[in-house]
Structure 1
Amino acid sequence: MADMELIADALIYRQGDMTISADHRFGPGTTLITGRIGSGKSTLSLLLSGQMEPESGAVRRSGIESEILSLQFPEYHITGATVAEEIRSWGVEPTSVLPVIPEAMWGRDPHTLSRGELKRLNLASVLARNPDLLILDEPFSSLDADMKRWFCREIQKRRERITIIFTHEREIIPDSDDRLVMRNGQLEGEGGSRQSRAMNHSRPEETQTTFSDGRLRLLSVISLSLGAFISIGGALLALVWWAGASRKGRRLPEKRLIAALALLILVPAVVTEILVGGGVSYGIRMGVILLISFWAYAEFRGGDMLDIFVSFFGERFGFDIGLAAEMTLQSFHLAGSDLREIQRAFSIKGMKIDHKSIIPAALTLLLLHIRRADETANLLAIRGFQSGGTHKPNFSTFPKDVILTFFAVLIAILSIFIFW
């Protein structure tokens, strides 16, 4: 085991306007990595574990035969219908996590556990597995002081194995062999000594939206969707509009999502074509509407919906409607993020989301959103929110916005009076 080593060899990964970089050797013992929120800690944990691929450089392993990454949020890891099944999904028996997870909990549904109980279940399982390489993202979160001390004692037993802990905890921490810090995406020594090679990287281009004025974007989307829904001629014109307007960056959803939605359109289209005819037209029109919808979702920026509705309906009713719309769009974004994390969590256990595991994955996704909605509602109530709010919309309108909107409205008009 003395020859075990994990090497971050000139690791580079660009994330938005930040470049994650690391050049470090991790040997047996405990390494603590701290850093501010947004400094790149979680991304580095995914890179070191192999869950994400670097743009350049490599992660090299020597003498490591088993490894586990524990994600920050334990909800993502749930794959078992009971606590006992969840423990076994990590490759260990429930008896190995006694007395941390008492037998009285084994028959419970993991989704009914509190976040603290879930964290305890997750840590007890991965520590019982005792892999050669254990990477832990914020393991102290949601733990009380007694559980933190238990965790530190268990980590001390892994002196001959590699343990890398990404944490904000400062008070109760295990003895460490190395302490590092993430600063603006770069891995450094805690005292400021650079652990990563000095590298200069050009800042990636910021993603530019087609519209600067959210009101005109919304009007264009409504017009194009109406035109595509009314006639196949309108759908084809809307497709041409989209191809021209988004030529610099046609952002589409993941291939699996496209395939699933395409199937939802294709099946009724085929059935309609066989039974009464018109199925081909239906498929084309619905496909274009979905394409426009995905484009609109990718184009909207945070605050757009609040600006739009306050400008239309004022600060009393418009604020409430805009806030609801912002939260809805945010939930779509978070759903995609949650799904990626669930896929990673399944991959960590050597599992895939298939017909056997789709139910626990979907249940986890649903309960995450319910819990998040409840927390948001409580936060609004605590802050005294009742109705309305003060907000001054700010719009920047450019000639290209007006021109694109004109042609979008024209497509709707042509669809109604000519193609329909």
Structure 2
Amino acid sequence: MRIKLKKRLKGYKGEFVLDIDMSVKSGSFVTIFGRSGAGKTTLLKMLAGLLKPDEGFIEVGGEIWYDSSRGIDIPPQKRKVGVVFQDYALFPNMTVEENILYGMEKKDEELLEKLLMLTQLIELRNRKPHSLSGGQKQRVALARAVARKPDILLLDEPLSALDIDMRRKLQKELHKIHRTFSLTTFLISHDFSEVFRLSDRVFVIENGKIIKEGKPDYIFVQERLSGKVKFSGEILQIKKEDVVYIVSVLVGNNIIKVVADPEEIQDLSVGDKVIVASKAFNPFILKSE
């Protein structure tokens, strides 16, 4: 996927040009990171066809979606894109099942059942949005976006309004959906641990331009853009307590204990070299390479 776009925008410091030039490998999970007003949401809207660039092109799998020099601009409904925003945008008069079916070009009962199962909505299929929690509504929005059978999934801070426990749970479901359907996923997020858990690659945008790109550990640990507290150490013990794990990490002459969920410890073993990073008292473990 090749993206080269320009769009003049107005920010809190005045006018600036969103000038994006990026290549994304098919099947990647990409995070667009940066301060509010940097142009992140505008980029997603241009990819979806909801906003027209001033110039440039978008090429997906050899197909041109937009090219200002050739007058090509495929409309949103013909772009294989699924979009999820913060506000859910569900139809209040439709049930969960009807909302998901609405996202399909052609009714596909097998896909419907698969999505209901993946998002744990089977028992809620006949309920309407007003009776759902925020996390349940977000699951419906996600299932409806995937029901389009998109090549690209665009997520604009979809979990930011949820509490930390629900956010962690939906992160797992989101990652499972990304892998199950082999999607190329673009996420806007300000949650450092979320970026680490989900992303293959991070693009940092500042004043409309990409200033850094790379794996999350390069962007946030080695370059220290996040300002987090971080320690390097060795795992001494992984102990299960109830539904979580306590990971004991030797850092210098001290032992730090970190609470981790089952998914976080899947690739970890006693003796592994790791980095323990913390932002706003939300520690997480990253395996060293």
Q: Is the 8 A contact 1:96 1:128 kept in 2?
A: no
Q: Which residue among 208, 211, 228 is the counterpart of 1:188?
A: 211
Residue 171 of structure 1 and its aligned partner are, at CA, apart by 1.1
Aligned residues: 184
SS in 1 for 2:89: helix
Match of 1:86 in 2: 99
Q: Is the 8 A contact 1:101 1:124 kept in 2?
A: no
Q: Is the 8 A contact 2:6 2:17 kept in 1?
A: yes
Whichever residue aligns with residue 146 of structure 1, its letter is K
Whichever residue aligns with residue 116 of structure 1, its letter is G
Match of 1:23 in 2: 21
1:76 aligns with 2:89: yes
Structure 1, unpaired ranges of 5+: 192-420
Q: Deviations over 1:174-208 (max 9, x none)?
A: 453321012122233247xxxxxxxxxxxxxxxxx
Residue 77 of structure 1 and its aligned partner are, at CA, apart by 4.5
Whichever residue aligns with residue 109 of structure 1, its letter is K
Q: Is the 8 A contact 2:6 2:54 kept in 1?
A: yes
Q: Is the 8 A contact 1:156 1:175 kept in 2?
A: no
Instruction: Please report the TM-score for the alignment, with normalisation by the length of structure 2.
Output: 0.56
Q: Is the 8 A contact 1:119 1:139 kept in 2?
A: yes
Map 1:162-311 onto structure 2 (within 5 A): 162-173=184-195, 174-190=197-213
| Whole-angstrom distance in 2 between the partners of 1:187 and 1:78 | 36
| Whole-angstrom distance in 2 between the partners of 1:80 and 1:137 | 24
| Whole-angstrom distance in 2 between the partners of 1:67 and 1:188 | 28
Q: Which has the higher strand share?
A: 2
Whichever residue aligns with residue 25 of structure 2, its letter is G
1:12 aligns with 2:6: yes
Q: Deviations over 1:237-295 (max 9, x none)?
A: xxxxxxxxxxxxxxxxxxxxxxxxxxxxxxxxxxxxxxxxxxxxxxxxxxxxxxxxxxx
1:108 aligns with 2:102: no
Larger radius of gyration: 1
| Whole-angstrom distance in 2 between the partners of 1:120 and 1:166 | 17
Q: Is the 8 A contact 2:38 2:206 kept in 1?
A: yes
Residue 158 of structure 1 and its aligned partner are, at CA, apart by 4.8
Whichever residue aligns with residue 35 of structure 2, its letter is R
1:98 aligns with 2:109: no
| Whole-angstrom distance in 1 between the partners of 2:132 and 2:120 | 12
Residue 23 of structure 1 and its aligned partner are, at CA, apart by 1.0
Structure 2, unpaired ranges of 5+: 64-77, 215-289
| Whole-angstrom distance in 2 between the partners of 1:61 and 1:152 | 22
Whichever residue aligns with residue 172 of structure 1, its letter is E
Q: Report % sequence identity.
A: 27
SS in 2 for 1:108: coil
Identify if the C-alpha distance between structure 1 residues 111 and 185 changes in structure 2 by more than 3 Å, giving closer, same or farther.
farther
